[in-house]
Structure 1
Amino acid sequence: MATAAITTAGVLALGACSSDVEDPEVESTTGGGGATSEPVTLDFAFWGNDVRAEMYTQAIDLFMEQYPHITVNSTFLDYPAFWEKRQTEAAGGGLPDVMQFDYSYLRQYSENGLLLDLGPHLGNEIATDGFTEQILGIGVVGDVTTAIPISTNAWGMYTNPALLESVGAEDFAGGSWDDYKAWVASVTEASGGEIFGGTDYTGRIQNFEVQLRAEGKNLFNEDGTPGFDEARLAEFWESGAEMRGDGATGISQQRLEEIYPVSGFGAALTTSELTWDNFGAGYLGELGESYTELGLVAPPVTVEGTKDLYQKPSMLHAIAATTDNAAESAMLVDFLVNSPEVGAVFGTNRGLPASSAMRDGITFEGLDEQIRAYEESIADRLGDAPPVPLVGYGTLEEKFRVLGTELGFGTVTVDDAVSQFFAEMDVVLNS
């Protein structure tokens, strides 16, 4: 994720809410107590880097202008550390009141009763008229709304045109995964091994999913069964062999560890990165003033003409079932997903806003317009979203990442990695 592993505990007095509840003294009939003018403290947690943290600070400052009686303790971590902390808190019953949430964990936390039923708040503290039914349905698990989508995004590939020009290489012109690997090697060769064309793409489970979707399969089916076998996973991991290890055409795992938490792309050591399209602002923040423009193109093609890509909620907001301040928490959620002013602050940093009200606050230009245009350009590759991730998907996604790192270091073989992943999957699927 190339995000800073820092916890910032900023106790901020908050105000302003775009919800249907305009008077803070109006009583709500929702769980956890109605909204009043009495002092209230909320804990809010999100994952991200310093760029996103500054945006949330601005959003919180705007909220403060109308509701100074609500205080929010805001903390952030990088993505893996964020979920490690949430799992610890969940076990002890101490989840934050409001959380930026990931689709990968939605079923797990919802089915375990850890998230508040937002149904009573919809149309009350949380305005819904800016959302389509399809978008609101993303946050529904078992007929219960437990999260509100902030935005949507799609899988893509960022490139660095200025860095490519500096080494005398052309931008990726599209093509197959083999074409992509050949392009990565050509960039690395052109730079004399100082700059790399990319990173071993087989370390990301999303690239595996894109290939499976092109073959008419899901990563995981609605019944929780995997859409692949050991041979197919081995084939995928083996396909990245030339990008890692001795004489690798991609950046080495050791070099990535040296610059962590910044990514190879964010450190201007690689010229491409396969990732979600809303990561651009973070990359520009890491790259600094030397690089002001990014390229954004579609991922390599596995099978021509297939619907291998999809739009997913880049993130959502959820409320802990244990909150003592459900109404105020819902007000904060409403503000963070609906406010045009927050839209102006974030742009597309969290993806294309799901709420039309928030989109109204954005002047689409620069990177924001680039992301909007990108999602239009891949319309013919966009298919139906996969089933809501199974319980434990986040654990499997992290295991996949860790095994990809170990493959990069050469501490496991492909066969060992496949065995370990299937063993982990067996535990998750049968627990």
Structure 2
Amino acid sequence: MFTKSRSRRIALGAVAGSVTAAFLAGCASSPDAAPQTTLDPAENVSISFSFWGNDVRAALYEEAVAVFEEQNPNIDVKVLFLAPEDYWEKRQVEAAGAGLPDVVTMDLAYLRQYAQNGTLLDLAPYLGTTIQTEPLSAAVLEAGVVDGVTAAVPLATNSWGMFLNSTLLDELGVDAFTEGTWDEYYDWLAEVSEAGKSAGVDVWGGVDPTSRFTNFQLYLRAQGSELFSDEGEPGFDEADLTAYWEAIQPLRESGALVPQQRLSEIAPLTGFDAALSTSDLTWDNTGSGFLGNLGEGYELELIAPPLDETGGKDLYLKASQMYSIAASTEQPLASAMLIDFLINSPESGEIFGTNRGLPASQIARDAADLDEMSQKIADYEASIADRLGDAPPVPIVGYGSLHEKFRELVEELDFGTLTIDEAVAQFFAEMDVALAQ
């Protein structure tokens, strides 16, 4: 457990119960009057700041907030840190009671939900003044806009990629996957898994890639579609999802994927973290975490995911995390000052590197001392420039629950407790509920 080393408190809270209260209807809130532009140095203020992550990220935030408080001695920051699986449940409890922290680390999957329900401040009055915008690209800033309101400012970008464990592949004597279609990747997964079986070791080609909602998103984007339109209309039907899940069914049946039972036993580690899998598709900023969990002696590579359509623009730069300010805050200026520091300061870039993703701010990026993995991430994002399409629409309200439902259903497919037809029916039932909100 991460413990505080200074007078600031870091709250590690347990989350109780489920949330039944609904958010207030409306859109992101804006200040009624012109925003305050300077903070009285004689006035001591306190703000709260929430983020998710592991102990490594918590230690980095401890260091960064200490520097901010040293530069702004009249601002005290109370840091609220939770593991990812608890973070959003806690935020929903707070939002239902108009009690969000002053500064909230936001995820794109939840941005529309919070922005449209009046819980986030419109940051536009602080952009270009308290929060520097020159170091940020227009495309990055646009990612935080919902219905014309700037509800968040992205702090970093990342893109979807494929990690390969070169060390394990060398030990098995199997060439790394380089490029190809999804079917060709599935064939490669089977080849690796057979090599592991022949060698008598518990190593497989990968986990079931169809459990990742983002892989399905890229599959659709390569064909010129999206998961959901700006109006919230789905870009796929039951037949599309059925075909997607059926394509990998032979690998499920042959045991060519890391067994779901093994994944349950090692959680919260993934198959890739535990050296059971030689490949994994995920956001590129996961690389440092993979290395930390694997330990010394492993070499990882990062390449582009499979692609079915020649010239397909399936990839995009995602705002890996964002910062928002609660509409209920009593200290909007101090909150905006903290956001600017965490996004734009060279100190922040030096402290975090690519832990939160590749810094969106050029100032922070220039100050970041990129280690080997961080440089691989930067090189990877440069290498996929020709494959990048427009960012998808801001996710619909309820996207987070759909994302989790998708994963849970594929877990049941891999356990063999559901048929594909049953899983598709359950997902569309869940989607109907989400779209009705």
Say yes or no: TM over 0.5: yes
Q: 1:141-189, CA deviations, whole angstroms, 9 ceiling, x for partnerless residues?
A: 1221111111111110011111222222221122111111121122222
Could you say if the C-alpha distance between residues 88 and 144 of structure 1 is closer, same or farther in structure 2, counting changes exceeding 3 Å? same
Could you say if the C-alpha distance between residues 309 and 68 of structure 1 is closer, same or farther in structure 2, counting changes exceeding 3 Å? same
What corresponds to 1:208 in structure 2? 216
What corresponds to 1:124 in structure 2? 129
What corresponds to 1:367 in structure 2? 373
1:8 touches 1:76 (CA, 8 Å); kept in 2? no
2:226 touches 2:392 (CA, 8 Å); kept in 1? yes
Any idea what SS the aligned residue of 1:295 has?
Answer: strand
Q: 1:2-35, CA deviations, whole angstroms, 9 ceiling, x for partnerless residues?
A: xxxx787787649xxxxxxxxxxxxx95379956
2:189 touches 2:256 (CA, 8 Å); kept in 1? yes
What corresponds to 1:357 in structure 2? 363
Could you say if the C-alpha distance between residues 390 and 31 of structure 1 is closer, same or farther in structure 2, counting changes exceeding 3 Å? farther
Q: 1:116-158, CA deviations, whole angstroms, 9 ceiling, x for partnerless residues?
A: 1112222332122211222212211122111111111111001
What corresponds to 1:22 in structure 2? none
Q: 1:341-363, CA deviations, whole angstroms, 9 ceiling, x for partnerless residues?
A: 21112212222211111112024
- CA offset at residue 430 of structure 1? 1.5
Any idea what SS the aligned residue of 2:162 has?
Answer: strand
1:12 touches 1:72 (CA, 8 Å); kept in 2? no
Any idea what SS the aligned residue of 1:158 has?
Answer: strand
What corresponds to 1:89 in structure 2? 94
CA distance in structure 2 between the aligned counterparts of 1:237 and 1:11, rounded to whole angstroms: 50
1:160 touches 1:294 (CA, 8 Å); kept in 2? yes
Could you say if the C-alpha distance between residues 10 and 147 of structure 1 is closer, same or farther in structure 2, counting changes exceeding 3 Å? farther
Could you say if the C-alpha distance between residues 143 and 83 of structure 1 is closer, same or farther in structure 2, counting changes exceeding 3 Å? same
- CA offset at residue 416 of structure 1? 1.3
- CA offset at residue 311 of structure 1? 1.1
What corresponds to 1:25 in structure 2? none
CA distance in structure 1 between the aligned counterparts of 2:277 and 2:171, rounded to whole angstroms: 12
CA distance in structure 2 between the aligned counterparts of 1:81 and 1:48, rounded to whole angstroms: 10
| Structure 1 unmatched ranges of 5 or more | 1-5, 15-27
Aligned residue runs from structure 1 range 2-401, under 5 A: 13=8, 30=35, 36-192=41-197, 193-244=201-252, 247-291=254-298, 293-401=299-407
- CA offset at residue 374 of structure 1? 0.8
Could you say if the C-alpha distance between residues 144 and 182 of structure 1 is closer, same or farther in structure 2, counting changes exceeding 3 Å? same
What corresponds to 2:18 in structure 1? none
- CA offset at residue 242 of structure 1? 3.4
Q: For this pair of structures, how many residues does the alignment match?
A: 411
2:209 touches 2:281 (CA, 8 Å); kept in 1? yes
- CA offset at residue 270 of structure 1? 0.9
Q: 1:250-282, CA deviations, whole angstroms, 9 ceiling, x for partnerless residues?
A: 111111111111111111111111001111111
1:11 touches 1:74 (CA, 8 Å); kept in 2? no
| Structure 2 unmatched ranges of 5 or more | 10-32
Q: Which segment is superposed worse, 223-232 or 72-81?
A: 72-81
Q: 1:92-114, CA deviations, whole angstroms, 9 ceiling, x for partnerless residues?
A: 22212112111111111111111
- CA offset at residue 65 of structure 1? 2.0
CA distance in structure 1 between the aligned counterparts of 2:6 and 2:367, rounded to whole angstroms: 27
Q: 1:32-69, CA deviations, whole angstroms, 9 ceiling, x for partnerless residues?
A: 99565433332222122222222222212222321233
CA distance in structure 1 between the aligned counterparts of 2:47 and 2:112, rounded to whole angstroms: 24
CA distance in structure 2 between the aligned counterparts of 1:73 and 1:194, rounded to whole angstroms: 45
- TM (norm. structure 2) is 0.88
What corresponds to 1:405 in structure 2? 411
Query: What is the CA RMSD across the aligned residues, in angstroms?
Result: 2.2
